């Protein structure tokens, strides 16, 4: 139904360059999440797509139809782009009932009265709020208002639905409910969705693709799994994942065939096939690298499991949290984090053995901060890797 292509979008506020050469393709039916810390340009990108902001440079098409051509000062009106937007603040009109809020856009389209009634009720039913049709927004709870905002956005059957941090005003439990609701909505309607959030859990759980923003630029576009397994640079690695990834300083040498990486864990050798060769990798010369090690990739044993990648370690601190346990470990002065499913008890300073999986580690060039060695995704990795 709709494929959106943004190319070379630049947006300035005065001297402030807030979007820098944004290139993004959103395929039909995608659930594309724009992810990043606040002030990184993700909301601005969404507003450019919606037509509420006009970029100074770049083009945008929907299904090959030009929507923005900044050089020609051409900007299609927001209402003619076939999209709708759910605001972070919901932006429900306080002087209209739920019904009137949802019906507003339909009435503007001069839809017949009976049809308006039917369409509004259908979208209220989809969001399971039909009993509130005659209430005013201030008579509803936050979660209900959120549903009205979504109902209003989907009533016009947009080809593209834009959501700007829609869950940030909800409490933790409602957020989980609404995540499920949104995912179901995406499945049922098949609408292309662009979703803005700073919450990586939302991004990872709902999206088909994630565009990671950093200071007005897109640093990586990938599937949730791809982004999680192989963040493109140290900042991205640091941002994605909770608890955060362990960074382990290391020295590496690349001889053109293999990359050998030396750290407190010993020396690992990675073949050329696992390397990201378009990145800067000095040849035949030792250089500083950083190993990226996810806490859940550290297996902890109380007795030596006789695995080839076993390293003895000490327990520094232990945080059982019900469904999982966080263990802070030390190896030769290096502190790092492991996570285990379920409640596990360790004593302080207890001797343990950790099994590591080099093939599932990332290697970053410390100087450029960029990923130079891919980690295998879990379902591709063998148990002994």
Partner 1 sequence: MAKKGWKHPPMTKERLKNQFNSLIGNPFNVIVFITLILLFVLIIIPLLSMVHNTFIVAKSELRNIPGAKVGDYTLWYWKYLIASPLTKTILWVPLRNSLIIGAFVTVIAVPLGALMAWLMVRTDIPGKGLLSALILIPYMIPSWCKALSWMTIFRNPSMGGNGVLSSLGIPVPNALASGFIPIIIVMTMHYYAFSYIMASGALRSINSELEEMGEIQGATRAQILKSITLPLILPSILSATIMTISKSVGTYGVAARLGGNNADGTPFYVLATRMKDFINSSPKGVGYAMSILMILLAAGTIIINQKLIGTRKSYATIGGKGTRSNLIQLRSAKWPMLIVISLFLIIAMVMPVFFLVMESFQIVPGGGYGANNLTLYAWIGELQNAPNPGYAQNGLFRNSEFVRALGNTVKLSLIASLITATFGQFFGYITTRGRGKWYGNAVEQLIFIPYLMPGVAFSAIYFSMFSQPRLGGLIPSLYGTFALILLVSIVKHFPFASRSGSSNMMQIAVELEEAATINGAGFWKRIASIIIPLAKNGFLSGFLLSFISIAKELDLIAILMTPKNYTLSFLAFDYSKEAMPQVADAICIVIIVFILVTNRIADKFGGNVSKSM
- CA count, 13 A, side-chain hemisphere, 281: 24
Q: Is 301 in the site for partner 1 (CB under 8 A)?
A: no
Q: Is 66 in the site for partner 1 (CB under 8 A)?
A: no
Which residues are CB-contacts of 228 (< 8 A; sequence separation ≥ 6)? 204, 240, 241
Given candidates 3, 7, 10, 61, which one binds partner 1 under the rule CB under 8 A?
10
Q: Is 382 in the site for partner 1 (CB under 8 A)?
A: no
Q: Is 256 in the site for partner 1 (CB under 8 A)?
A: no
Q: Which is nearer to partner 1, 78 or 226 (CB)?
A: 78
Given candidates 18, 22, 70, 300, which one binds partner 1 under the rule CB under 8 A?
70
Q: Is 51 in the site for partner 1 (CB under 8 A)?
A: yes
**Ramachandran bin of 63, using left for φ above 0, alpha for ψ from -120 to 50, beta for the remaining angles:** left
Q: Is 112 in the site for partner 1 (CB under 8 A)?
A: no
Given candidates 39, 63, 66, 79, which one binds partner 1 under the rule CB under 8 A?
79
From 27-35, 69-77, 171-179, 366-374, give the range in contact with partner 1 by CB under 8 A.
69-77
Q: Which is nearer to partner 1, 135 or 183 (CB)?
A: 135
Q: Is 122 in the site for partner 1 (CB under 8 A)?
A: no
Q: Is 136 in the site for partner 1 (CB under 8 A)?
A: no
Given candidates 27, 39, 74, 139, which one binds partner 1 under the rule CB under 8 A?
74
Smallest separation, CB 35 to partner 1 (Å): 22
Q: Is 76 in the site for partner 1 (CB under 8 A)?
A: no
Given candidates 28, 29, 57, 61, which one binds partner 1 under the rule CB under 8 A?
57
Q: Is 216 in the site for partner 1 (CB under 8 A)?
A: no
Q: Is 93 in the site for partner 1 (CB under 8 A)?
A: yes
Which residues are CB-contacts of 271 (< 8 A; sequence separation ≥ 6)? 257, 258
Given candidates 83, 167, 297, 338, which one binds partner 1 under the rule CB under 8 A?
83
Smallest separation, CB 36 to partner 1 (Å): 21
Given candidates 85, 221, 240, 313, which one binds partner 1 under the rule CB under 8 A?
85
Strands ordered across the beta sheet of 371-373:
266-271, 258-263, 246-254, 287-293, 362-365, 371-373
Q: Is 119 in the site for partner 1 (CB under 8 A)?
A: no
Q: Which is nearer to partner 1, 43 or 197 (CB)?
A: 43
Smallest separation, CB 15 to partner 1 (Å): 7
Using CB under 8 A, count the residues that bind partner 1: 32
Smallest separation, CB 111 to partner 1 (Å): 11
Given candidates 12, 180, 201, 269, which one binds partner 1 under the rule CB under 8 A?
12
Measure the CA–CA gap between 114 and 326, rounded to whole angstroms: 58
Which residues form the interface with partner 1 (CB under 8 A)? 10, 12, 15, 17, 50-52, 56-57, 70-75, 78-79, 83-85, 87, 89, 91, 93-95, 104-105, 108-109, 152, 156
């Amino acid at each position: 139904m709709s494929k959106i292509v943004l190319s070379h979008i630049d947006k300035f506020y005065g001297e402030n360059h807030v979007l820098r050469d944004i290139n993004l393709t959103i395929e039909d039916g995608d659930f594309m999440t724009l992810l990043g810390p606040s002030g990184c340009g993700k909301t601005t990108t969404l507003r450019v797509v919606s037509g509420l902001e006009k970029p100074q440079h770049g083009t945008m098409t929907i299904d090959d139809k030009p929507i923005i051509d900044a050089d020609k000062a051409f900007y299609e009106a927001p209402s003619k782009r076939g999209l709708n937007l759910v605001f972070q603040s919901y932006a429900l009109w306080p002087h209209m009932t739920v019904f009137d809020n949802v019906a507003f856009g339909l009435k503007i389209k001069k839809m017949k009265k009976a049809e308006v009634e039917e369409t509004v009720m259908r979208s209220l039913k989809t969001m399971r709020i039909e009993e509130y049709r005659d209430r005013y927004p201030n008579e509803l709870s936050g979660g209900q208002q959120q549903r009205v905002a979504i109902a209003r956005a989907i009533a016009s059957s947009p080809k593209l639905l834009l959501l700007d941090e829609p869950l940030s005003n909800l409490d933790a439990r409602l957020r989980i409910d609404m995540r499920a609701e949104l995912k179901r909505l995406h499945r049922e309607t098949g609408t292309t969705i662009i979703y803005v959030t700073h919450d990586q859990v939302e991004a990872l759980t709902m999206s088909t693709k994630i565009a990671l923003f950093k200071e007005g630029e897109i640093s990586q576009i990938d599937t949730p799994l791809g982004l999680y397994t192989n963040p493109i640079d140290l900042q991205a690695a640091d941002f994605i994942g909770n608890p955060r990834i362990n960074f382990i300083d290391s020295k590496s040498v690349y001889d053109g065939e293999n990359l050998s990486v030396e750290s407190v864990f010993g020396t690992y050798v990675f073949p050329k096939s696992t390397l990201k060769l378009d990145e800067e990798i000095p040849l035949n010369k030792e250089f500083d690298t950083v190993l990226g090690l996810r806490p859940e990739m550290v297996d902890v044993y109380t007795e030596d499991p006789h695995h080839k990648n076993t390293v003895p370690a000490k327990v520094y601190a232990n945080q059982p949290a019900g469904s999982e346990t966080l263990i802070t470990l030390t190896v030769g002065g290096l502190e790092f984090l492991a996570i285990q499913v379920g409640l596990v008890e360790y004593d302080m300073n207890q001797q343990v053995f950790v099994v590591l999986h080099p093939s599932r580690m990332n290697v970053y060039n410390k100087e450029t901060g960029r990923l130079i060695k891919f980690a295998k995704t879990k379902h591709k990795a063998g148990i002994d890797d």
